[in-house]
């Protein structure tokens, strides 16, 4: 097991005890508790919409076993260099017109290079000028990069813990768990909001899922945004033959996440194309209150916008806190 800073261990253990009790609750009692807590902190009819664009695709030196963008695996993915500023602005405007509140930009890097980093800073400034919230995911950061992102106006940085520290070793060998915690610490020092969650259904045990939530809940400040992804197995990656998680177990994980981090926005992220509308509705009931909008999440499929709007409409939910419910 990779080493986690010792000062955090007591808190992680006490969170783990509570999480075990929650996972053992009857399913409906757990969802009821999660929904009650959700209503104490959020408008239960509002689902936040974010949009995610891959600004540099493929050829990543990291070996994340789930990822088609890793240079270690042979997938059908077409590599693409860093996008031009104008092209990014066009995509951001499109996302805004379609209802996105936040525009997230992801680059398949171990860390941003000296050459490309200034270009990303320009993209952040341009997104902010449109009136959108800006989020990026660029890999590992040093302190000066984190400060520069803050100065450019960045609102959120996405950097997931992915899974438990022990299962992590089966998923990634090129970047340590501690590296991830260190980057999260730098973001907090720069006062950038954190988007940090994980991927479940990668073949991990329930114990690993409990530990992932305990790790997230034990960060010095809860992430403002917690994406919970369901693995999309991609041909050519080591996880291509992984069986999907049982739907109730997925919903249970959303509910426990909501209870353990009551004020965080919980995003139902990758994997929604394989979920029924009923399952997504149950996830909203269990405390998920954000989704990605658009037919692609970096490089993996996502439901079409119209499908999502139709679902929100059927459920009597809305995509902006100040708007009326979606019209059917």
Q: Indicate which residues carry an active-site annotation.
A: 60, 64, 67, 104, 135, 195, 267
Of 81 and 323, nearer to ligand SF4 (C-beta) is 81
Minimum CB distance to ligand SF4 smaller for 137 or for 190: 137
3-state secondary structure 231-255: CCCCCCCCCCCCCCCCHHHHHHHHH
Binds ligand SF4 by CB under 6 A, chosen from 34, 37, 64, 245: 64
Query: Is residue 82 close enough to count as binding ligand SF4 by CB under 6 A?
Result: no
* Shortest reach from residue 182's CB to ligand SF4, in Å: 15
CB of residue 192 vs ligand SF4: minimum separation in angstroms? 18
Angle at 288 between CA 282 and CA 292, to 5 degrees: 110
Task: State which of positions 182-241 bind ligand SF4 (CB under 6 A).
Answer: none
Cβ-contact 295, 303 below 8 angstroms: yes
Beta-bridge mates of residue 267: 227, 290
Token pair 């999502």 in the structure block, residue: 308
In the list 34, 47, 60, 217, the residue contacting ligand SF4 (rule: CB under 6 A) is 60
Which residues, at least 6 apart from 300, have a Cβ–Cβ distance to it below 8 Å? Answer: 68, 232, 234, 270
Nearest approach in angstroms of CB 262 to ligand SF4 is 28
* Of residues 246-265, those binding ligand SF4 (CB under 6 A): none
Of 42-50, 61-69, 212-220, 302-310, the segment contacting ligand SF4 by CB under 6 A is: 61-69
Give the nearest distance from C-beta 1 to ligand SF4 in angstroms. Answer: 20
CB of 228 to ligand SF4, least distance (A): 16
Give the binding range for ligand SF4 (CB under 6 A) out of 12-20, 58-66, 150-158, 264-272: 58-66
Per rule CB under 6 A, count of chain residues that contact ligand SF4: 8
Q: Is 326 left (phi over 0), alpha (psi -120 to 50) or beta?
A: beta
CA dist list (Å): 138 to 135, 148, 175, 188: 10, 13, 14, 16
Smallest gap from Cβ 108 to ligand SF4, in A, equals 4
Phi, psi dihedral angles at 249 (to 5 degrees): -70, -40
User: Under the criterion CB under 6 A, does residue 62 sit at the interface with ligand SF4?
Assistant: yes
CB 50 within 8 A of CB 244: no
Decide: is 77 part of the binding site for ligand SF4 (CB under 6 A): no
Determine if 308 is a binding residue for ligand SF4 (CB under 6 A): no
Gap between the Cα atoms of 188 and 167, Å rounded? 26
Element (H, E) at 106: strand 102-107
What are the structure tokens assigned to 305, written together?
Answer: 């916008």
Alpha-carbon distance values, 152 to 4, 132, 196, 245, 312 (Å):
31, 13, 21, 40, 34
The number of residues making up the chain comes to 328
* Nearest to ligand SF4 of 19, 105 (CB atom): 105
Region binding ligand SF4 by CB under 6 A among candidate stretches 57-65, 75-83, 146-154, 275-283: 57-65
Q: Of 49, 67, 202, 261, which lies in the binding site for ligand SF4, with binding defined by CB under 6 A?
A: 67
Give the span between the Cα atoms of 240 and 242, in whole angstroms: 6
Taking residues 85 to 114 in sequence order and writing x for each that binds ligand SF4 by CB under 6 A, - otherwise, the string is: -----------------------x------
Q: Contact positions toward ligand SF4, by CB under 6 A?
A: 60, 62, 64, 67, 69-70, 108, 139
């Amino acid at each position: 097991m990779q080493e986690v800073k010792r000062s955090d261990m007591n808190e992680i253990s006490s969170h783990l005890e509570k999480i075990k009790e929650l996972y053992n609750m009857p399913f409906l009692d757990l969802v009821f508790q999660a929904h009650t807590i959700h209503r104490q902190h959020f408008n239960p009819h509002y689902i936040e919409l974010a949009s995610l664009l891959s600004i540099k695709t493929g050829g990543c030196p990291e070996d994340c076993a789930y990822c088609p963008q890793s240079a270690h695996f042979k997938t059908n993915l077409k590599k693409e260099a860093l996008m031009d500023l104008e092209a990014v602005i066009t995509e951001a405007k499109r996302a805004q017109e379609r209802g996105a509140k936040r525009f997230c930009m992801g680059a398949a890097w171990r860390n941003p290079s000296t050459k490309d980093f200034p270009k990303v800073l320009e993209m952040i400034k341009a997104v902010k000028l449109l009136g959108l919230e800006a989020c990026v995911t660029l890999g590992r950061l040093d302190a000066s990069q984190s400060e520069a992102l803050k100065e450019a106006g960045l609102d959120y940085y996405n950097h997931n813990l992915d899974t438990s520290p022990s299962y992590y070793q089966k998923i990634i060998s090129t970047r340590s768990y501690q590296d991830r915690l260190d980057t999260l610490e730098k973001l907090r020092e720069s006062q950038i909001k954190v988007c940090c969650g994980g991927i479940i259904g990668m073949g991990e045990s329930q114990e690993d899922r409990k530990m992932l939530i305990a790790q997230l809940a034990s960060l010095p400040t809860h992430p403002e945004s917690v994406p919970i992804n369901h693995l999309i197995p991609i041909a050519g990656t080591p996880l291509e033959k992984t069986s999907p998680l049982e739907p109730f177990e997925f919903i249970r994980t959303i509910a426990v996440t909501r209870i353990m981090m009551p004020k965080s926005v919980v995003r139902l992220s990758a994997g929604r194309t394989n979920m029924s509308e009923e399952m997504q509705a149950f996830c909203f009931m269990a405390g998920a209150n954000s989704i990605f909008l658009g037919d692609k999440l970096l490089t993996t499929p996502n439901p079409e916008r119209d499908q999502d709007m139709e679902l929100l409409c059927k459920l009597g939910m809305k995509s902006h806190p100040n708007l009326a419910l979606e019209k059917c």
